[in-house]
Amino acid sequence: MSTRSTDPPPIRSRIDRALIRGAAGATAVLLLTSCATLSSGNGERDNVPEDVSTDITDEPVELTLAYTDDPPSTELVEGFTEQHPNVSIELQQTPFTDYVKTVTLSMSSDEAPDIAQYNPGAMRSLIPSGHVMDLEPYVEAYGWEESFPEATLEPLRADEDATRFGTGSLYAVPGALSVLGVFYNRELLARAGVEEPPATFEEFEDALAAVDEEGIAPFSVGGLEVGGFQVWNTLLNAFGDHEAYRDWVHGAPGSTIETDEAMTATGILTRWVEAGYIPESANATSDDDAKAAFGNGESAFLMIGNWAAFEMEEALGEDVGFFLLPGEDPDQVPMTSGSSVSYTVSSGTEHPDVAAAFLDYLSSPEAARIQLDTGFMPVDTDASTGEGGVLEEINSVYGTAAEQDGIVPFPDFATPGMIDQLTPGVQGLIAGSTDEETFLSDLQAEWDRVHG
Amino acid sequence: MASGALLRGNATAGTRRPRRSRLRAWLYLLPALVVYAGFAIYSAAGTVWFSFLDWDGVAPPTWAGLANYTRVLTEPLLAGAILNGLVLIVFFSLIPIAVGLLLTGLLLGRVRTGMTFFRTVFFLPQVLPLVAVGITWRWLYSDDGMINRALETVGLGAITHAWLGDYHFALIALGLIGTWCMSGLCMVLFMSGAQRIDPSLHEAAAIDGAGPLRRFRYVTLPGLRREVGIAAVITTIAALASFDLVFVTTNGGPAGQTNVPALLVYRLAFNEGTIGGASALAVVLTLIVIVLVSAIRLLTREAK
């Protein structure tokens, strides 16, 4: 009989297991943290290379590259080793959620990878401890200031303490670019009588009202994850004081986000919430759910980056378009947040010239082809997909913005913990539990904690 | 009870053993002991040590004294997360125990066939990975999810919500997922305990004129004391240490309404690189777990 099968020993072992879980389980996360030892951070290291050369050896060379984003890392490495058959590059991938921790530990170890994908959070410890190579000698040798757009290099510069970014020596170069903007559904807009993408912010708001009138949801917003603050980010780009904003993200002393411009941008977000353009259910919507809803034609606009372009083109084909949110003035320089998949070199590498040759390769036309094919903006902004469609459209608006110095960093780069203020903060605005002042002062409090 | 006797037997036999064979016993224990000491005790001690440091994980750490603990206890965000963990105990522990007892009372002695079926069905949530459970419930709770559809069908369209996105309901909605997971576990524990109760007690009570309710209250319930204790311990730990469920459903949102301590430990350590603060919060969490579990064990201890 089944009733007799449940005798005491199994229960007992359940208790034991439960108690072991009690002792160890609550601290499970800590087991991971304590893997780190206190022995790292062994003082200063010379991280400026000497005798740099743009010629690389013909001898066989083996390098390792640590990264998280794929594409484009594998494809770019393959492209480079095709050009230099004597070089082989071993790839070490770590999932994004663990990448900061892993790259920090491996780059500070004695067997550091020669090249690593750049991560601003990790740099805050790796630059001051001298584990990342100062690339200035190569900037001069290769003329990188010419071959890479300045807007893409700027965020990769830092001072020696890595407390302030956007200034000082260069520590990485971009291997593929991303940009934030507004995807729109042509067919839904046409149904609401909107034929052209808006040229001013006023026209954009008219389009929202027209779409709403027609019973179509204006936005899909993934407020559960980063989708919420990307809306705020987009508004801030259209309304913000860009110099002040750049300084703030880069940690320039005395910077603040509590500006009139940021208040205006935040105020528009709450107005859209009140108007019902952004529903409260956004807070329970993941980024993937938001993309799926827009891709199914359930909403007119989606504020997200070019990384969604492939998916959107697949889902909506000709109906999907892309623009940068315009400001109030039609002649205003289009502004957008951009970032890059970038690569740094370990100061402990035995082959600095080869590593630098890989970085140089990233700005080449061959690399641009790969960057485009993998769904990114190419570093060489003159490159074109030649295939039309939304990818071409994104590439062209990005190029226009980049030429006019219209690329600013993402706000979550301001401090390692900023994303944990931005996501709940915007959720508060959507739920109506936070007002604009509190939202901005919370962001500033996090900034002050790190940079103050 | 059988296992208790077994343990006592071992203990008395142990005192009579010669020294050499006790050494041999330690030798057998050694592999497990090394693993446990290396991966649990050493790590836990390391955590306590880190909690007194100001450390980003790479640069040399500096001594922080009690600053990390002050932050845990005074920062509203961290203190709020601990409070949310305590609220979750209601949903992960109290309600599942009540539901488990109710189901036991209903099934006991009445259902002759299909007992295995009921047990399997109610226990199923325990077998599923919490991440899968979380994602499934996120869909069920969503704006056009099954729960809202069901509400509309019965004419309650006015109260539909994206439940996990609602500022006031999110924590409750999250807690109810825990209730769903834990109730079956409690029931299975109670069923096995109740089936061990001597049937003659029930018969005697019935002869004295006790109805089913009274028999449950005066025979079944006292007999389940130990199982209730076990269930309370397991579910309380699950409530306070919950991470995976929260991580995949709300990630602390909306606006921090469902932050729980383990989630913030993770963020502090891995997003912000403040190992000291994360460790201090983890130590506080562990202490709360120990205090609550000890209290439960004290309350449910059988009179000697």
- Kindly report which listed range (A86-100, A184-198, A431-445) carries the lowest average pLDDT score: A86-100
Q: Beta A115-117 vs A61-67: how paired, if at all?
A: parallel
pLDDT (tens digit, 9 = 90+) per residue, B208-240? 988 888 888 888 888 899 999 999 999 999 999
The CATH classification number of A61-178+339-391 equals 3.40.190.10
Find the CB nearest A11 among B164, B192, B269: B192
Q: Round to the nearest angstrom and report the end-to-end CA distance of chain A.
A: 70
- For the cut 70, the answer to whether the pLDDT of residue B9 exceeds it is no
Residue type, position A185, single letter: N
User: What mean pLDDT is predicted for residues A144-150?
Assistant: 89
The CA R_g of chain A, rounded to the nearest whole Å, is 24
Nearest to A424 by CA among A435, A446, A439, A402: A439
Query: Which pair of tokens denotes residue B31?
Result: 């592999």
| Model pLDDT, residue B125 | 87
pLDDT surpassing 60 at residue B6:
no
Q: CA dist B28 to A112, B15, B25, Å?
A: 40, 18, 5
Q: Per mean pLDDT, which range of A62-66, A346-350, A376-380 is the poorest?
A: A376-380
CB distance A128 to A160 below 8 Å: yes
pLDDT at A215: 93
Of B50, B193, B256, the CB nearest to A33: B50
Class of domain B69-299: mainly alpha
Torsion of CA B161, B165, B171, B173, to 10 degrees: 40
Nearest Cα of chain A lies from the Cα of B20 at a distance, in angstroms, of: 28
Of B233, B241, B273, the CB nearest to A121: B273
Q: How many angstroms separate the CA atoms of A173 and A357, rounded?
A: 12
CA B132 to chain centre: 18
Cα gap A290→A295, rounded to integer Å:
8
Q: Which residue has the higher pLDDT, A10 or A49?
A: A49
Question: Which residues in chain A touch residue B165, judged by CB atoms under 8 angstroms apart?
Answer: 223-224, 280-285, 431
Instruction: State yes or no: cis peptide before B254, omega within 30 of 0.
Output: yes
Percent of chain B with pLDDT over 90: 44
CB < 8 Å to A23, chain B:
40, 44
What separation, in Å, do the N-terminal and C-terminal C-alpha atoms of chain B show?
Answer: 13
pLDDT value, residue B28: 92
Give A-chain residues touching B278 at CB under 8 angstroms: 29-30, 33
**Whether the predicted pLDDT of B2 surpasses 60:** no
What is the average per-residue pLDDT within B196-212?
88
Contact A26 B282 (CB under 8 A): yes
Cα–Cα distance measured from residue A224 to residue A306, given in angstroms and rounded to the nearest whole number: 20
Q: Give B128-140 pLDDT, tens digit per residue.
A: 898 899 989 988 9
Q: Which chain B residues are closer than 8 Å to A125 by Cβ? A: 56-59, 273
Residue A27: both structure tokens together: 């601290």
- Buried b or exposed e, range A225-236, using 16+ CB within 10 angstroms: bbbbbbbbbbbb
**Which among B206, B289, B241, B232 has a CA at the least distance from the CA of B100?**
B232
Does position A221 have pLDDT exceeding 90, yes or no?
yes
Statement: residue A41 has pLDDT above 60:
no
Is it the case that residue A237 has pLDDT exceeding 80?
A: yes
pLDDT at residue B3 is higher than 80: no
Residues in chain A within 8 Å Cβ distance of B68: none
Which of A132-136, A280-284, A429-433 is predicted with the least confidence, judged by mean pLDDT? A280-284
How distant is the Cα of B116 from the closest Cα of chain A, in angstroms? Answer: 7
Strand pairing class (A407-408; A336-345): parallel
Exposed / middle / buried, residue B211 (Cβ in 10 Å: 0-12, 13-18, 19+) = exposed
Task: Flag whether residue B44 sits within 8 Å of chain A, measured between CB atoms.
Answer: yes
Position B13 pLDDT exceeds 70: no
A429 against B300, higher pLDDT: A429
Query: For A317-373, what is each residue's pLDDT tens digit?
Result: 999 999 999 998 888 888 899 888 999 999 999 999 999 999 999 999 899 888 888
Distance CA(A220)–CA(A234), nearest Å, equals 14
pLDDT class of B109 with cuts at 50, 70, 90: low
Q: What is the mean pLDDT of residues B54-77?
A: 86
User: HEC states along chain A?
Assistant: CHHHCCCHHHHHHHHHHHHHHHHHHCCHHHHHHCCCCCCCCCCCCCCCCCCCCCCCCCCCEEEEEEECCCCCHHHHHHHHHHHCCCEEEEEEECCHHHHHHHHHHHHCCCCCCCEEECCHHHHHHHCCCCCECCCHHHHHHHCHHHHCCHHHHHHHEECCCCCCECCCEECCEEEEEEEEEEEEEHHHHHHCCCCCCCCCHHHHHHHHHHHHHCCCEEECCCCCCCHHHHHHHHHHHHHCCHHHHHHHHHCCCCCCCCCHHHHHHHHHHHHHHHCCCCCHHHHHCCHHHHHHHHHCCCEEEEEEEHHHHHHHHHHHHHHEEEECCCCCCCCCCCCEEEEEEEEEEECCCCCHHHHHHHHHHCCCHHHHHHHHHCCCECCCCCCCCCCCHHHHHHHHHHHHHHHCCCEECCHHHCCCCCHHHHHHHHHHHHHCCCCHHHHHHHHHHHHHHHHC
Phi-psi region of B99 (alpha: psi -120 to 50; beta: other; left: phi over 0): alpha
Exposure of B275 by Cβ count < 10 A (0-12 exposed, 13-18 middle, 19+ buried)? buried
B141 vs A95 pLDDT, higher one: B141
pLDDT at B41: 94
- Which residue ranges make up each domain of chain B? 69-299
Between A374 and B177, the higher pLDDT residue = B177
CB contact under 8 A, B166 and A424: no
Q: Looking at the complex, does the CB of residue B155 fall below 8 Å from at least one CB of chain A?
A: no
- The SS3 assignment for B75 reads coil
Q: Which of A292, A290, A299, A242 is nearest to A265 (CA)?
A: A242
Query: Using the beta-carbon criterion (under 8 Å), do B59 and A280 form an inter-chain contact?
Result: no
What the block records as the tokens of B280 is: 């201090």
Shortest alpha-carbon distance between residue A325 and chain B (Å): 26
Residue A412 makes CB contacts below 8 A (sequence gap 6+) with: A226, A229, A418, A419, A422
Quote the pLDDT of residue A450.
87
- The rounded mean pLDDT for chain A is 85
pLDDT at residue A311, rounded to an integer: 87
Task: Give residue limits of the domains in chain A.
Answer: 61-178+339-391, 179-338+409-451
Query: What's the CA gap between A250 and A164, in Å, rounded?
Result: 5
Q: Which top CATH class is A179-338+409-451?
A: alpha beta
Within 8 A by CB and 6+ apart from A277, the residues are: A208, A212, A218, A219
Q: H or E element: which one contains B53?
A: strand B53-54
d(CA B22, CA A118): 56
Element (H, E) at B14: helix B2-16
Predicted confidence at residue A379, as pLDDT, reads 86
For residue B148, how many C-alpha atoms fall within 13 Å in the half-sphere facing its CB? 18
pLDDT in tens, A108-122: 888 899 999 998 878
Give B-chain residues touching A40 at CB under 8 angstroms.
Answer: 58
pLDDT of res. B183? 92
ipTM of the complex as predicted: 0.78
Per CATH, A61-178+339-391 and A179-338+409-451 having the same topology is answered yes
- Residue B15: pLDDT band by 50, 70, 90 thresholds? low
Compute the distance between CA of residue A255 and CA of residue A124 in angstroms, rounded to an integer. Answer: 19
Tell me which range, A9-23, A76-90, A278-292, is most confidently predicted by mean pLDDT.
A76-90
**Chains A and B: how many Cβ contacts under 8 Å?**
209
Tokens 């042509």 map to which residue? A186
Whether residue B162 has pLDDT greater than 90: no
CB B3 within 8 A of CB A9: yes
Where does the pLDDT of residue A6 fall: very low under 50, low under 70, confident under 90, or very high at 90 and above? very low
Share of chain A above pLDDT 90, in %: 50
- Which of B271, B284, B300 is the mutation pick for testing A, counting most A CBs within 10 A? B271
Q: B12 pLDDT exceeds 90?
A: no
Give the tokens for residue B18.
């010669």
From B130, B155, B126, B160, select the one nearest B143 (Cα to Cα).
Answer: B160
